[in-house]
Amino acid sequence: MRDISVAELEAIANRLRIHVIEMTTAAGSGHPGGSLSAADLMAVLFFRNMNHDPSNPQWEDRDRFVLSKGHVAPVLYAALAESGYFPVEDLLTLRKMGSRLQGHPVRGKVPGVEMSTGSLGQGLSMSCGIALAGKMDGKDYKTYCLLGDGELQSGQNWEAAMFAGQYQLGNLIAIVDRNHLQITGNTEDAVGLDPLPEKWRAFKWNVIVAKGHSIRQLMEALDKAAEAHSRPTVIIMNTIKGQGVSFMENNAGFHGKACNKEEFEQAMRELKGVSE
Amino acid sequence: MSEKLAQRNYYGKALAELASERDDVVVLDADLAGSTKTSDFQKVCPERFVEVGIAEQNMIGIAAGLAASGKVAFASTFGVFATGRCWEQIRLAVAYPRLNVKVVATHCGISVGEDGASHQALEDMAVMRALPNMTVISPADAYEAYSATKAIADYDGPVYMRMGRAEFPTVTEQGAPFTIGKATVLREGSDVTLVGCGQMVSFCLEAADMLSSEGVSAEVVNMSTIKPLDTETLLASVSKTGCCVTAEEHSIIGGLGSAVAEALSESLCAPLERIGTRDTFGESGKPDELMEKYGLTSADIAEAARKSISRRS
């Protein structure tokens, strides 16, 4: 855990948002909406709570992070670059021929990317395996897994949730980005997920509900999750898809679409206005 | 050819030995440990055995996570479930990042018998062979299942290995080392090449005996690695004999027959006949009855050999 202020983390989260918009605009595609809803969490995880060393990505005692909602690769790449895993300039190569920054994260291509993801519903199972290995080996590392809310419609998540409860993976922390939006619209109009806390509790998990755009609440939630538990912990963070850019907020249209020139300029005005 | 042994018993035996030979081996199963014989590992090493319940997709994800943390992960269940239920999980979580996961299936082929089509894996090699980075192995007998289990534990990368349910005649030498990607010529001949995998290798040897009584000299190749295919051994044999027959307890679409057809057509002009199921599901019945109905006997192989020879110009 690093000693860092709320204001500093807010500034980092804002930088991550700027990177996300710049990267996806340069690529002409990508997933800005869900990247922005997770930006505050990524700032707190990578710059405060997670025990990791960008100069030694294979350090065996590092905390692990698995991005189950792999389509928000831009915010992961931004967090890794800002952490020092690779140069920030590389971010603008996202989705381009020859770039290691593939449209969805690939293990082995980018330092700091633990698992290949992009097909939804698989990250929690992978995280169970990593957490189980930690228990077998007597290691103290934590495994963090960021899930989208829409992907919880996929049954494999609940196989993994059942498994983690059964095997008492207290070293596993899942975070659900509860922004209520998937491609078709509101998750509750597609195949509803509510009541989420009750579902996880029924699968033998600790449940913490937090505001996903409150750095202070995220800090408290992650601190609490990292305490010694016999049960796995899920943080359901209530978020706004597209948070930080007015015309993207709560707009499912920006799930998987980049800004045009005018939109980009407005987004930059809004985000840089905050950081300046 | 000697006694009849079940491959899965020798898989279990090899796993149990690996428990003490290597501390990085973990074994996962999806409620079928007693049938796949991973229970033999569980008995001696419960702390590295993972029961995932009836949840094959989750099993593959967990295996990938364990492999990413330095383990050699064996994940076992029946062939249909091991490759079909979780194909895309194997694709993304295992094959793409080239993780050290061994998907080892039992109950492959139509000789599964009475359980019927839902449990008879006849497409498993096809779907696994299509995945980049994947090695596909079908041992000829129990001894080879044992030595292949040891070999794939030593190999760093994804492997799919298939085995049958029933007892098969042994055709290889007990204790012979297994080399991934290396076919073996079990019987030399000059008139036709019979290429088999799994228990069909023993039927190829029987077919060679039948042909011999007719004055036809058949060469028998045990192609226990389907991918990467040992094209060198294959082409050397077919260049000599001028015609070929493949035999597999699997669909002729996508498995050994397809792999051999692809290799031959790129290198030389020789007639090929394929023995396998012909774009069909199986059904319930006794293994022998099913093998006969679906054209998977030594007599079928011998007949295919005669046809292949007759087509040779």
Active site residue B56: yes
**What is the distance in angstroms between the Cα of B113 and the nearest Cα belonging to chain A?**
30
Average pLDDT rounded to a whole number, residues B204-210: 98
How much of chain B exceeds pLDDT 90, in percent? 99
| Confidence band of A135 (pLDDT split at 50, 70, 90) | very high
Residue B100 near residue B71, CB atoms below 8 Å: yes
CB-based contact (8 Å) between A156 and chain B?
A: yes
Distance from CA of B26 to the nearest CA of A (A): 10
**Higher pLDDT pick, A239 / A274:** A239
- Distance between CA atoms of B294 and B286, rounded to whole angstroms? 12
CA distance linking residue B227 with residue B256, whole number of Å: 9
Contact A39, A17 (CB under 8 A): yes
The type of residue at B86 is C
Asked if B65 lies within 8 A of A108 by C-beta distance, the reply is no
Average pLDDT over residues B85-98: 98
User: How would CATH label the architecture of A6-275?
Assistant: 3-Layer(aba) Sandwich (3.40)
Annotated domain spans of chain A: 6-275
Q: Which residues on chain A are in Cβ contact (under 8 Å) with B64?
A: 115, 125-126, 129
Choose which CATH entry (3.90.700.10, 3.40.50.2020, 3.30.1300.10, 3.40.50.970) describes domain B4-169. 3.40.50.970
- Give Rg (Cα) of chain B: 19
Q: Does B60 touch chain A (CB under 8 A)?
A: yes
* Chain B hits for A67, Cβ within 8 Å: none
B92 at A interface, C-beta within 8 A: yes
**B20: exposed, middle or buried (C-beta count within 10 Å: 0-12, 13-18, 19+)?**
exposed
The span from the CA of B260 to the CA of B308, in Å, is: 14
Q: Which CATH class is domain B184-311?
A: alpha beta
Q: What type of residue sits at position A126?
A: M
Place of tokens 């050994």: B256
Cross-chain Cβ contact A116/B97 below 8 Å: yes
Could you tell me the residue ranges of all domains in chain B?
4-169, 184-311
Mean pLDDT score, A234-242: 98
A127 in B contact zone (CB under 8 Å)? yes
With beta carbons under 8 A apart, name residues in chain A contacting B68. 107, 114-115, 126, 129-130
* ipTM exceeding cut-off 0.95 for this assembly: yes
Q: Are B109 and B164 spatial neighbours (Cβ–Cβ below 8 Å)?
A: yes
What pTM value is reported for the model? 0.97
pLDDT in tens, B234-255: 999 999 999 999 999 999 999 9
Shortest CB distance from B61 goes to which of A136, A155, A156?
A: A156
Which of B61, B96, B97 is facing A129, going by the closest CB pair?
Answer: B61
Q: Tokens for A9, please give them.
A: 């983390």
Which pLDDT tens digit goes with each residue over A189-235?
999 999 999 999 999 999 999 999 999 999 999 999 999 889 999 99
Average of per-residue pLDDT across A228-243: 96
